[in-house]
Amino acid sequence: MNITNNRLSKEQYEQNFADIHPPFENKTAAQVEANRCLFCYDAPCTKSCPTDIDVPKFIKQISTDNIKGSAHTILSSNIMGAGCSKVCPVEKLCEGACVYNLLEEEPISIAKLQRYSTQKAMENNWQLFQRKPSNGKKVAIVGAGPAGLSCAHVLSRNGVDVTIYEKESKGGGLMTYGIAAYKVTPKFCEDEVNYILSIGGIEIKYNQELGKNILMGELQKNYDAVFLGIGVGVARRLGIPGESFEGVEDAISFIYNIRDKNYSLIPIGDKVAVIGMGMTAIDAATQAKRLGAKKVTLVYRRTEAEKPCTDVELDIAKLDGCEIIWLAAPKEIKGENGKVAQLICSKMMLSETDTNGRKTPIDTGEIFSLDVDMIIKAAGQIPFEELVDMNKMENKNGKLIIDTNYSTNIKGVFAGGDAVNGGKEVVDAVQAGKDGASSILEYLNLTFNLI
Amino acid sequence: MADISSNFLGIKSPNPFWLASAPPTDKKYNVLRAFEAGWGGVVWKTLGSQVKNVSSRYSAVDFNGSRLMGFNNIELISDRPLDINLKEIEECIKLFPDRAMIVSLMADNDKKSWQELIKKVEDTGAHGLELNFGCPHGMTERGMGASVGQDPEIACMVVEWVMETATIPVITKLTPNVHSVVPTGRSVVKAGTHALSLINTIQSVTGIDLDTLVPNPNVGGKSVFGGYCGPAVKPIALKMLTTIAQDELTKKVPISGIGGIGTWKDAVEFMLLGASNVQVCTAAMKHGFRIIEDMCEGMNNWMDEKGFKTIDDFIGKSVENITHWEDLDINFHVIANINQDKCIHCGLCYIACEDASHQSINLDFGKPYNKYTIKDEECVGCNLCKLVCPVEDCITMEVHRKGEEYVNWKDWQDKGLPLNDH
Ligand SMILES: Cc1cc2nc3c(=O)[nH]c(=O)nc-3n(C[C@H](O)[C@H](O)[C@H](O)COP(=O)(O)OP(=O)(O)OC[C@H]3O[C@@H](n4cnc5c(N)ncnc54)[C@H](O)[C@@H]3O)c2cc1C
Ligand SMILES: Cc1cc2nc3c(=O)[nH]c(=O)nc-3n(C[C@H](O)[C@H](O)[C@H](O)COP(=O)(O)O)c2cc1C
Ligand code: SF4
Ligand code: SF4
Ligand code: SF4
């Protein structure tokens, strides 16, 4: 059948891409879980949340039936608290640190409780923040992703007028265009962006790309400060022969299409290989399977012990029926009639631990081949080198370098999120936006307040 | 296997668990089901003049998701016709001759009414009578129930009327809606009651509906004080029981313990503090009659472990362990100890001691887990940390006596020992 779209029925697509996080059925269910929380002091879960959400407090507020207060507790620390409750890898963050783990008991379902309160806030459009009167300061933000939106919200709360320049036609960044469709729906992402904007004082100019439609110089001239939340760009090239055969795809654009179009319009192969073992690779593999690919194989250079994704993520892929080949590095792509036919891989072995404490994969010289008709590359993303160089910004392989005040080497230009860290989680980007906003307020001699 | 059978004033039952006078005992249908389930006896729902009840009738206090931690009602005495009750009582006794059948009474406030009622009830073959001097709502407005129990003189008078006629054992049920249950207890013992039972329900307001602003339970937009019972009242009941078990006069008669009993452990505690048997209401209303099985098995297993052969072997054993503050040993001193292998780093002990006790716990910051240790010299041994710690046996209180010898408060002052610990 090769690469074709429309492999499944409408119902099958719907079932495959249904939300993997069902909500609490009712208030009692939420309260039973909330009452299980011990209300820890200096709580480990809070300390393990990059945005520092006061977890015991918001959970206690669910048990006292103060849902509005609970939502405020969450959103004042993390304005994307609703989205984060669906996409955070909680097993390595808050829930991974919950003290119940130490009793060999299920940790508190923190994310599910967070979803409970924030969903109510969004559904009822509770206005939990009142922006201070405008103080006349103007800040430009580039990128309406988690970092940019979080920065914008804190600035607006503190009376700054914000304009966001976004190259796409929708807000949310990778939340809208990158994260697996079974974690967040397009409708949810749109609602969340609108909810964030409902505070007022934030204008988004869509289809405006920095470096193309607008230049850094103009932003510096027209605004009191600039924040760059531009994320990272396309997937890294593998740098092996055959990468231009038809059927070799970049994971980011593959996923972008899934998020942007109808599932039935996305072409997918019969036998798909996905290269990499990060969050993106897992998402690409599971979604390839859910689109109807017969066989999906994840190929990774190292072993399970070194994998960058979490156990929970890996389990999702396994449960979806994806196969995994450890210690295999792509060496060459072979084609027939201009189309992908085989992926040739080197068998690898791990070196002794090097000075950095990490084991490097070494080629054993042995090779094997996989019959495939589609290859999805998810071996890391490349930052926007060109844009960064063009503006003479200090960077490391395209990742912006900032000082402790979140400032780049250009005065008045701040940055944060994936653009700086090279690609972490939404929750890290949200915190970076908050930190950036705090530095900008200080730079503008304004006080910072999260209330 | 221990023997848990009970003999209360000659009234025998296979176990010391009776159902208290309340809805579970208000008709033949329930009582037969209770006997089938294994209950040792029942105190039939209070009989008296015909009354009419309202709707709604109950409300509750929930705590952290647990329902009915406290329960409250505004029901009156039995609202079923007297002759039907009497007929059914007789039938139940015939069907289950080995179970105790006590009938609760609250007649109108005159000698004739009481004595006529007693005669009718005795004709059923009932084994004993319980005088309801406790109901704290409704009936009190008519000068009955708690109004009788709150006034030792009136209570004495009614018991005298009863004793003139009664030929079967008489238990007087006390109201807790007094500053002390002892005066009424003494007065009815003097008047000749054979036994006491306590407690009846405590006047209460369980809560208010925050939408309508009407307190619970709501009867057409109004409420009244209701009678409180269930797990929340157990500690109060135990205290009142102890005062009766320690008083020179009242301790001479057997006591039936009531108030918040739902498990074998609760029952054992009442009996250790002097109750010869116990009565249960709320727990049966919440879970049904089936709870009797574990009550019997649990008590039996505990008795076997402790080597008690019959219930008389342990009844009253803890009474002397409650003493006067002045007699406590001031040299006795405990210090908290945290077992680091068990600690889950929740910080609850720390914040409790820091904000509300003696700032005796160290916090060594860690990410994500802090380490908590006790400052031995600061700890006054209050137990707070141990009480809040969610992990069993993680915090233990270890004995570090301040001195060898027993010194009570009076000796302490006489010796001019230092008063200020901190
Ligand atoms: C496939 C995939 C799956 C992921 N899954 C998860 C997950 O499950 N959970 C999780 O927490 N994180 C996940 N992440 C990571 C997460 O999406 C990012 O860490 C987060 O979105 C970073 O936010 P950001 O605002 O820094 O950047 P982005 O979300 O990338 O937002 C940057 C925004 O800037 C815009 N932009 C870029 N350049 C310009 C320009 N020149 N001019 C104007 N606008 C510009 C972009 O269009 C975009 O809207 C995933 C990432 C990928 C790729
Ligand atoms: C709904 C209800 C009705 C009651 N009716 C009576 C009654 O008619 N006579 C009586 O002596 N006590 C009555 N009581 C009090 C109980 O017998 C018992 O003393 C009290 O509930 C405490 O026990 P518990 O905590 O096990 O419920 C009633 C209690 C309840 C809950
Ligand atoms: S660590 Fe677990 S139990 Fe403690 S506050 Fe956080 S969620 Fe609640
Ligand atoms: S026993 Fe009391 S004083 Fe001692 S550590 Fe615990 S809480 Fe503090
Ligand atoms: S309360 Fe108990 S478990 Fe929690 S920190 Fe203290 S000792 Fe550890």
User: What would the pLDDT profile of A356-371 be if each residue is shown by its tens digit?
Assistant: 777 888 999 999 999 9
Evaluate: CB of B349 within 6 angstroms of ligand 5. yes
> Which neighbouring-strand residues pair with B197?
B173, B256
Q: Is B121 in the pocket of ligand 5 (CB under 6 A)?
A: no
In a domain, B422, yes or no: no
Same domain, B335 and B315: no
Buried b (16+ CB within 10 A) or exposed e, A324-335: bebbbbbbbbeb
CA dist B166 and B143 (Å) reads 23
Instruction: Judge if the upstream peptide bond of residue B84 is cis by omega within 30 degrees of 0.
Output: no
CATH fold, domain A138-233+382-443, is FAD/NAD(P)-binding domain (3.50.50)
CATH 3.50.50.60 domain span(s) along chain A? 138-233+382-443, 248-377
Q: Does the active-site annotation cover B135?
A: yes
Q: Say yes or no: B89 and B237 in one domain.
A: yes
For residues B317 and B329, membership in a common domain is answered with: no
Express each pLDDT in B221-246 by its tens digit: 999 999 999 999 999 999 999 999 99
A38 to B348: CB separation less than 8 angstroms, yes or no? yes
Residue of A nearest to B349 (CA): A41
Residue B170 has pLDDT above 90, yes or no: yes
Q: Residue A431 has which token pair?
A: 């915190």
Please check whether residue B30 lies inside any domain of the structure: yes
Q: Tell if the CB–CB gap between B345 and A32 is shorter than 8 Å.
A: no
Contacts of A103 in chain B (CB under 8 A): 344, 391
Q: Are residues B187 and B254 in the same domain?
A: yes
pLDDT at position A21 is: 80
Q: Is A154 in contact with A438 (CB distance < 8 Å)?
A: yes
For residues B329 and B210, membership in a common domain is answered with no
Say if B256 falls within a structural domain: yes
* CATH 1.10.1060.10 intervals, chain A: 22-123
CB crowding B375-400: b at 16 or more within 10 Å, else e? eeebbbbbebbbebbebeebbebeee
Interface test with chain B among A27, A42, A63, by most B beta carbons within 10 Å: A42
pLDDT band at B137, cuts 50/70/90? confident
| Domain C-terminal end among B267, B289, B321 | B321
Query: Which ligand does the CA of A40 lie closest to?
Result: 3
DSSP string, B284-303: HHHH-GGGHHHHHHHHHHHH
Per the domain annotation, does B420 fall within a domain?
no
Q: What's the pLDDT at A127?
A: 97
CA distance B231 to B282: 8
Q: How far apart are CA A212 and CA A165, in angstroms?
A: 11
Q: A248-377 adopts what CATH topology?
A: FAD/NAD(P)-binding domain (3.50.50)
Which residues of chain A neighbour B355 with C-beta distances below 8 Å?
none
For residue B347, what is the domain's CATH number? 3.30.70.20
Residue B212 sits in the same domain as residue B346: no
Chain A contact for B402 (CB, 8 A cutoff)? no
Residue ranges making up the domain that contains B312: 6-321
- Please say whether the beta carbons of B266 and B260 come within 8 A: yes
Same domain, B282 and B369: no
What distance in angstroms lies between residue A106's CA and the mean position of ligand 4's atoms?
30
- Closest among A341, A340, A362, A342 to A351, alpha carbons compared: A362
Q: How far is CA B9 from CA A119, A412, B46, B165, B305, in A?
A: 63, 92, 20, 18, 28
Query: Sheet of A339-350: strands edge to edge?
Result: A328-336, A339-350, A361-371
Question: What pLDDT score was predicted for residue A1?
Answer: 55
**Residue of chain A nearest B351, judged by CA positions:** A41
Q: How far is CA B262 from CA A423, B23, B35, B258, B291, in A?
A: 57, 16, 17, 10, 8
Query: How deeply is A336 buried, as exposed, middle or buried, from its count of CB atoms within 10 A (0-12, 13-18, 19+)?
Result: exposed
* Regions of chain A with pLDDT less than 50: none
**Average pLDDT of chain B, as a whole number:** 96
Of residues A250 and B160, more confidently modeled: B160
- By C-alpha distance, which of A230, A332, A324 is closest to A276? A324
B379 lines ligand 4 (CB under 6 A): yes
* B83 and B116, same domain (yes or no): yes
Structure tokens at A386: 């060109």
Residues with CB under 6 A from ligand 1: A 87-88, 142-148, 165-168, 173-175, 178-179, 183, 209-211, 229-231, 252, 255, 279-280, 283, 387, 417-419, 423-427, 429
Contacts A44 to B, Cβ<8 Å: 345, 368-369
Residues 6 or more apart whose CB falls under 8 angstroms from that of B100 comprise B8, B11, B12, B13, B18, B40, B41, B42, B127, B128
Position B269, amino acid: E
- State the closest ligand 5 atom to the C-alpha of B344, by its place in the atom list counted from 1: 3
B117: in domain? yes
Contact A41 B348 (CB under 8 A): yes
Angle at B239 between CA B233 and CA B244, to 5 degrees: 125
The last residue of a domain, from among B294, B321, B348:
B321
Residue A97: CB partners within 8 Å, gap ≥ 6? A44, A45, A47, A48, B368, B369
Last residue of a domain, one of B291, B321, B351: B321
Sheet holding A374-377, edge to edge: A248-250, A374-377, A271-275, A295-299, A323-325
pLDDT at B422 over 60: no
- According to DSSP, residue A26 is labeled S
Helix and strand numbers (H, E) in chain A are: 18, 15
Cβ–Cβ < 8 Å for B117, B46: no
Rounded CA-CA distance A259/A261 in Å is 6
> Which of B92, B135, B296, B343 is flagged as catalytic?
B135
Q: How confident is the model at residue B404 (pLDDT cuts 50, 70, 90)?
A: very high
Distance from CA of B233 to the nearest CA of A (A): 23
Q: What are phi and psi of A273, to 5 degrees?
A: -110, 135
Q: How far apart are CA B102 and CA B83, in angstroms?
A: 17
The separation between the first and the last C-alpha atoms of chain B, rounded to the nearest angstrom, is 52
Pocket of ligand 3 (CB under 6 A): A 37-40, 43-45, 55-56, 59, 98-100, 108, 110; B 346
Please provide residue A371's backbone torsions phi and psi, each rounded to the nearest 5 degrees. -80, 120
pLDDT at position A36: 97
Domains in chain B: how many in total? 2
Q: With cut-offs at 50, 70 and 90, classify the pLDDT of residue B421.
A: low
| CB B154 less than 6 A from any atom of ligand 4 | no
Claim to verify: residue B332 and residue B206 sit in the same structural domain: no
User: Domain A22-123 adopts which CATH fold?
Assistant: Fumarate Reductase Iron-sulfur Protein; Chain B, domain 2 (1.10.1060)
Cβ atoms of residues A136 and A176 within 8 Å: no
CATH number at residue B113: 3.20.20.70
- Do B73 and B98 have their domain in common? yes
Contacts of residue A91, defined as CB under 8 A and 6 or more positions apart, other chains included, come to A310, A311, A312
Angstrom distance (rounded) from CA B360 to CA B382: 11
Neighbours of A261 (CB within 10 A): 11
Which uninterrupted H or E stretch holds B173?
strand B170-173
- For residues B167 and B210, membership in a common domain is answered with yes
Which residue of chain B has the CA closest to A45? B368
Q: Tokens at residue B173, please? A: 């049920």
Determine the Cα–Cα distance for residues B200 and B241; give it in Å rounded to an integer. Answer: 12
Specify burial of residue B125 (Cβ count, 10 A radius: 0-12, 13-18, 19+). middle
B319 exposed, middle or buried (CB, 10 Å; 0-12, 13-18, 19+)? Answer: middle
Q: Is residue B37 in a domain?
A: yes
List own/partner pairs for A11-18 with CB under 8 A and 24 or more apart: A12/A292, A13/A263, A13/A264, A13/A291, A16/A182, A16/A263, A16/A290, A16/A291, A17/A181, A17/A182, A17/A263, A17/A290, A18/A182
CA of B273 to the centre of ligand 4 (A): 29
Task: State the best of A36, A41, A94, A103 to mutate against chain B, taking most chain B CBs within 10 Å.
Answer: A41
Closest CA to B57 of B72, B78, B36, B35: B72
The span from the CA of B416 to the CA of B419, in Å, is 8
Instruction: Return the closest-CA partner of residue B382 out of B352, B407, B416.
Output: B352
B410 HSE (CA, 13 A, CB side):
4
- Give Dmax (Cα) for chain A: 68
Query: How many contacts does A have with B, using Cβ atoms within 8 A?
Result: 42
A35 vs B contacts (CB less than 8 Å): 64-65
Task: Please tell me whether residues B126 and B26 are part of one structural domain.
Answer: yes
